[in-house]
Amino acid sequence: MSFFIAEAAAQAGDAAPAQGAGFLNFVLLGGLFLFMYFVIIRPQRKRQKDHQSLVDAISKGDEVVMTSGMLGKVIEVTDDYVTLSVSDNVDLKFQKVAVHAILPKGTLKSL
């Protein structure tokens, strides 16, 4: 049982705990927050800003791809909705936020 005595002597606490341990915890917590900001929060905000500028740039006559994969030509744009012509005599209304990308002119004719 002599191995327990060494542990008991080590736990006696004769030496004072390190004074910088609390400060080090705050530094590590701050570093973790900075890591999360640059890896998760900042790229997501950039994607949101890019998508919002894409949605604001939609105009009549643009050819777009929706998040569902549907292709169409914009025939009407309102504040929150966009109306697409997807075929002859077939017009569908979608929310603007569902637009995934604006295609180059003439893409629909080449398909």
Q: Which residues pair with 87 in a beta bridge?
A: 90
Please tell me whether residues 43 and 67 are part of one structural domain: no
Q: Is residue 12 part of a domain?
A: no
Cα–Cα distance, 100 to 20 (Å, whole number): 51
Cα–Cα distance, 81 to 64 (Å, whole number): 13
Question: For residue 23, what pLDDT is reported?
Answer: 85
pLDDT mean by block of 10 residues, the chain; 111 residues? 55 56 88 96 96 95 95 95 94 96 92 83
Question: For residue 21, what pLDDT is reported?
Answer: 76
- Quote the number of domains for the chain: 2
Q: How far out from the chain centre does Cα 100 lie?
A: 14
Q: Is residue 26 part of a domain?
A: yes
Q: Where are the alpha helices (DSSP H) in 11-56?
A: 21-36, 42-56
**pTM of the predicted protein model:** 0.70
Q: Is residue 4 part of a domain?
A: no
Question: For residue 111, what pLDDT is reported?
Answer: 83
Q: Residue 89 sits in which domain range? A: 59-110
Residue 24 neighbours by CB distance under 10 Å: 10
